[in-house]
Chain A
Amino acid sequence: MDALDDLALTAAVFLPLVGAVVMLLTPRRQETVHKVIALLTTLATFAVGVYVLVRFDYRRADLLQFNVNASWIDVINSRYILGVDGISLPLLILSMFVCVLVVIYSWNHFPEPHNPKAFLLLVLVLETGMNGTFVAQDLILFFVFFEVVLLPMYFMIGVWGGEQRQYAAIKFFLFTLFGSALMILSFLALFFRGGQTFAIQELIAVASDTIPRSTQLLIFGGLFMGFAIKVPMFPFHTWLPDAHTQAPTQGSVILAAILLKLGTYGFVRIAIPILPEAARVWAPWIGGLAVIGIIYGALGCLAQSDMKRLIAFSSVAHMGYVMLGIATLTDFGINAAVFGMVAHGLITGMLFFVAGSVKDRFHTLELSRLGGLLIQAPRMGWILGFCAMASLGLPGLAGFWGEFPAILAAYNPAPGLSRELFRVYMVVAAIGTVFAAGYLLWMLQRAAFGTPTKEFAGHPIPDMRWPEYLAWTPMLLLIVVLGIFPNLLFGLTNRAVDTALAAFGGGG
């Protein structure tokens, strides 16, 4: 079994790439073959994920497991180090899970210009990048995987996207690249000041002692830019609504469900454990931007007339809660943040799926032209309602456990942070939830309630088809299950979060 354990994470990362190569060698005309290869590849990868879930030692979720440590670039002392702990495991599984569902959903939902071969190939390359980011334990390796997702997403938006796709694609690319260029400079600074190593665990041990405080602050600033753009935090969020709106449905789902988490994950995995002192100084600012993001995102939602754009802005708000949880630097807050990442991935991913299917049927997402979805396609309408409820944080569904504890954590932030300030943040964030209920219900009302508009009244609108059933059911189930048994996730993350926060005396 041990030999398999050693291979597990490498397989999780590179299996999708193997599938992609096989597809590359298959002629383009054989579309069904391509779909089957992609499905089998993602399923096989998910099976590896299940294996990891089974073999994972939950009592020691604070330790990195399934470790791999091999030589990679000797000259700069960067190594091929992989490992999962309680924080990365849920995100890794989420990434594998969503990729399977995206391939299933794609079965009869290929946006123009069709070409399933190229489209599914990109999904597989994306999966390699995402899985790799969640398991990499070396900064350079992390950086490479972090960047690998850029190109496929650029092409997915730019080739299969909507009207403004070229603008949205390059904007997405340039924003992220700018952030990651600063990030790599910070990594290099950590390398030089922190004992000539890129291994995250070694840096955690030495960095805060050996690096002067002022330098720590600067390095954290570089990391902050890299990760905050990816999250995206206000005021770096402007690429997100464009990218989401223009991306094809599958692209939006992957973007919302996983890509945004690369940023928040970076904070939890790299920035805070390595530079806890700098994190404490930066936390009030991060928290401030997070609550601005919550309110700004919510107000942005209320101003939208396009359903997809509305969901995109709601992402800005939701990621604001995640960042607020992180900014408290307490185990409570960061547990909530990790939960929030998974919950937002499932719920917003689902919302984008539904929006995609609505667009498929009505060829528009203008809220003023929609209406009466519950009459024309009742099942889909109910699912939209369910997701809206989950998204606004209804207790009993997954969204609640991401938001509520994050707000609560702000009541009592880590020692050294201003309580008064964070309590203000708490109040603002709580007001944000009211807005959230407002815009989500408003969207639901406009799209699903009432009677169909004249434009579509006479048209038969088909309800859900089998790929939609297959792709959506697991996500909906998980939203409910995690909502009812949040400990499934909290139990996993808690120990790991405590370790990440060791510098703060085991959390607040």
Chain B
Amino acid sequence: MEPVFSAPTVDFHAFGPEIVLVVVLGVLLLVDLVFEERARWASSTIAGIGLLAALVPVLTLAIDGGDRTLFGGAYVVDNFALVLKGLFLVAGYVTVLISTDYIGDGDYYEGEYYFMLLSSLLGMTVMASARDLLSIFVALELLSIPAYLLAGWRKRDLRGNEASLKYYLLGVFASAVMLYGMSLVFGVAGSTLLSDVGAAVSRGPRSAPVITVGIVFIVVGFAFKVSAVPFHTWAPDTYEGAPTPITAFLSVASKAAGFVALVQLVFIGFLGRDDVWAPMFWVLAAVTMTVGNLIALRQTNVVRLLAYSSVAQAGFILAPFAVAADIPAARGGVGSATGAVVTYLLIYSAMNLGAFAVVMAVARKTRSGEIASYGGLFQYAPGLTVLMTIFLFALAGIPPLAGWYAKFVVFKSLLDAGTAAAIALAVVGVVNSVIGLFYYASVAREMWMSPVPDGQEVTPVRVPAALGASLALCAAATLAIGVVPNLVARLGNLALFGALP
């Protein structure tokens, strides 16, 4: 009799980062359980060291080179996956750094907090390798469910509850829509492997409407994740109510994970059906950047401003999707679009995390997130002011700060395509860059040019060491990438190989 189940051979090296994360998760739980209050301080240290340790197998895998395919193609460790795993782990590490004092001072549940954070990161590292509808879904839930809890971490705060509930309900709804779409696609393809889906989808018009609906549902599901307009409504409330480090985490790592899933789904699974998704992405991109920017103009709270700015930035990241199929092979084909997306994500992470880190450092003193409370910051906290200025203008895309290169690669991929639609999208992007500058500059203006508000003490702001380290990391990355874009351009280009069939 044939064995019903034969265990697949597992390449444990390929699973290195995930194994390290699981071990650290166990250690965190045990330490919290055994030492209780006495070890509270240790949990952030363990989480931070654990994340750095998880980077080691990423590096060894990168040095080792070569793509590793597991489970019949459902799980692939290639350059694309490694670059993004690295991004998730580093972004997670910075999140731990900015959380340390916030969570420590706030009398929150530290052990559980870092446990959730690392669980979510585990989901993301899995996502980077998932090339199968099911593993993508599992990774998505693994990264989302802890995030729902983290968003409501300030449980006595009404806004925190609202943040968590909104995020949870809309997130689950999006998952349901997406799952339905996946089931339709599976029904046609007869396989959950993305490569099989890709082959089935491009084979011809058989059951085309079903596939169309399936693709639309899946893309809409992820549009929620990456907070693309008109599926963005949860983002500002959730961002404002969640603990600020979690806001930073959601707006960077969680969003990046959504884009990673999109890249894999669209460019491997649905490549043959660009007639369905290309117009969708065009509209999503144009509307997302425009609406995000216009609403950001009216914000008076800096966290909400950054929330809408991150919506607008998502619009820029969506733009290459819209034209990917039109890029001639001589100019890199779909790879040019993937490269633009990955490069943008890498740069965006550094500058956005940095901006949130400054917001947290300032809030430690002013206890406020209102933009007006930033008045005259330059007079008593020149260092933080300069850093915030760097991050804001980087987000606006002013050279020589990193953001210009991110925008540049997006424009380049649009002009790579060279179609009328692509050029129109580029013009929309140009107009939006100018609008974006206006609100980024308005925060800078408040800090540099306005007087200190009444009742505000003007003693220097004390920045805790961990927060300072995260600021230094982000600022160094923002400046270095801006001056020598080769640093990420290489990574962005590396990430193309293997991602495509």
Spell out A's residues near B (CB within 8 Å). Answer: 28, 71-76, 113, 118, 140, 143-144, 147-148, 150-151, 154-155, 158-159, 165-166, 169-170, 173-174, 177-178, 181-182, 184-185, 188-189, 192
How long is the Cα–Cα vector from A155 to B379 in the complex, in angstroms?
14
Q: Which residues of A contact B433 (CB under 8 A)?
A: 177, 181
Q: Is the CB of B399 within 8 A of A185?
A: no
Q: Is the CB of A173 within 8 A of B441?
A: yes
Name which residue of chain A comes closest to B429, CB basis: A181
Name which residue of chain B comes closest to A73, CB basis: B485
Q: Does B369 contact A (CB under 8 A)?
A: no
Q: Is the CB of A170 within 8 A of B441?
A: yes
Q: Is the CB of A181 within 8 A of B486?
A: no
Given the known A-B contacts A75-B492, A184-B408, A189-B415, are A143 and B437 also in contact in the complex, defined by CB atoms under 8 Å? no
Q: Does B382 contact A (CB under 8 A)?
A: yes
Q: Which residues of B contact A74 (CB under 8 A)?
A: 486, 489-490
Q: Which residues of A contact B412 (CB under 8 A)?
A: 76, 188
Q: Does B465 contact A (CB under 8 A)?
A: no
Could you list some 22 contacts between A and B, CB below 8 A? A28-B382, A72-B486, A74-B489, A74-B490, A75-B486, A75-B492, A76-B412, A144-B400, A147-B400, A150-B398, A151-B393, A151-B398, A159-B378, A165-B449, A166-B445, A166-B449, A170-B445, A173-B437, A173-B441, A177-B398, A184-B411, A192-B418
Q: Does B299 contact A (CB under 8 A)?
A: no
Name which residue of chain A comes closest to B426, CB basis: A185
Q: Which residues of B contact A189 (CB under 8 A)?
A: 415
Known: A75-B485, A177-B433. 13 other contacts (CB 8 A): A71-B486, A73-B485, A74-B489, A75-B493, A76-B412, A76-B489, A158-B448, A166-B449, A170-B438, A170-B442, A182-B430, A192-B416, A192-B418
B388-431, CB under 8 A of A: which get 1 and which 0? 01000100001110001100110110011010000000110010
How long is the Cα–Cα vector from A158 to B378 in the complex, in angstroms?
13
Name which residue of chain A comes closest to B396, CB basis: A177
How long is the Cα–Cα vector from A158 to B393 in the complex, in angstroms?
15
Consensus secondary structure, chain A interface: helix
Name which residue of chain A comes closest to B490, CB basis: A75
Q: Does B49 contact A (CB under 8 A)?
A: no
Near A by CB (< 8 A), chain B positions 340-358 give none
Q: Which residues of A contact B445 (CB under 8 A)?
A: 158, 166, 169-170
Given the known A-B contacts A72-B486, A185-B426, A192-B416, are A147 and B438 also in contact in the complex, defined by CB atoms under 8 Å? no
How long is the Cα–Cα vector from A272 to B219 in the complex, in angstroms?
46
Q: Is the CB of B393 within 8 A of A174?
A: no
Q: Is the CB of A147 within 8 A of B399?
A: yes
Q: Which residues of B contact A28 (CB under 8 A)?
A: 382
How long is the Cα–Cα vector from A174 to B430 in the complex, in angstroms?
12
Q: Which residues of A contact B438 (CB under 8 A)?
A: 170, 174
B289-332, CB under 8 A of A: which get 1 and which 0? 00000000000000000000000000000000000000000010
Q: Which residues of B contact A177 (CB under 8 A)?
A: 398, 433-434, 437
Residues of B in contact (CB 8 Å), total 38
Q: Is the CB of B404 within 8 A of A147?
A: yes
Q: Is the CB of A159 within 8 A of B399?
A: no
How long is the Cα–Cα vector from A419 to B19 in the complex, in angstroms?
79
How long is the Cα–Cα vector from A151 to B397 in the complex, in angstroms?
12
Consensus secondary structure, chain B interface: helix
How long is the Cα–Cα vector from A169 to B437 in the complex, in angstroms?
13
How long is the Cα–Cα vector from A401 to B427 in the complex, in angstroms?
41
How long is the Cα–Cα vector from A150 to B434 in the complex, in angstroms?
13
Q: Which residues of A contact B490 (CB under 8 A)?
A: 74-75
How long is the Cα–Cα vector from A28 to B445 in the complex, in angstroms?
21
Q: Is the CB of B489 within 8 A of A143?
A: no
How long is the Cα–Cα vector from A140 to B379 in the complex, in angstroms?
35
How long is the Cα–Cα vector from A28 to B382 in the complex, in angstroms?
10
Q: Is the CB of A159 within 8 A of B448?
A: yes
How long is the Cα–Cα vector from A184 to B434 in the complex, in angstroms?
13
Name which residue of chain B comes closest to A113, CB basis: B379
How long is the Cα–Cα vector from A150 to B437 in the complex, in angstroms?
12
Most buried by B among A147, A181, A182, A189: A181
Q: Which residues of A contact B382 (CB under 8 A)?
A: 28, 118
How long is the Cα–Cα vector from A151 to B331 in the complex, in angstroms?
34
Most buried by A among B331, B415, B416: B415
Q: Which residues of A contact B399 (CB under 8 A)?
A: 143-144, 147-148
Given the known A-B contacts A76-B412, A158-B448, A188-B412, are A174 and B418 also in contact in the complex, defined by CB atoms under 8 Å? no
How long is the Cα–Cα vector from A237 to B433 in the complex, in angstroms?
21
How long is the Cα–Cα vector from A317 to B437 in the complex, in angstroms?
30
How long is the Cα–Cα vector from A159 to B493 in the complex, in angstroms?
41
Smallest Cβ distance from B371 to chain A, in angstroms?
14
Q: Is the CB of B486 within 8 A of A185?
A: no
How long is the Cα–Cα vector from A47 to B379 in the complex, in angstroms?
35
Smallest Cβ distance from B8 to chain A, in angstroms?
37
Smallest Cβ distance from A251 to chain B, in angstroms?
14
How long is the Cα–Cα vector from A159 to B408 in the complex, in angstroms?
30
Smallest Cβ distance from B304 to chain A, in angstroms?
21
The 7 closest A-B pairs by CB, nearest first: A75-B489, A144-B399, A147-B399, A181-B430, A188-B415, A73-B485, A158-B449
Q: Is the CB of B441 within 8 A of A144?
A: no
Q: Which residues of B contact A188 (CB under 8 A)?
A: 411-412, 415
How long is the Cα–Cα vector from A136 to B448 in the complex, in angstroms?
31
Q: Which residues of A contact B448 (CB under 8 A)?
A: 155, 158-159
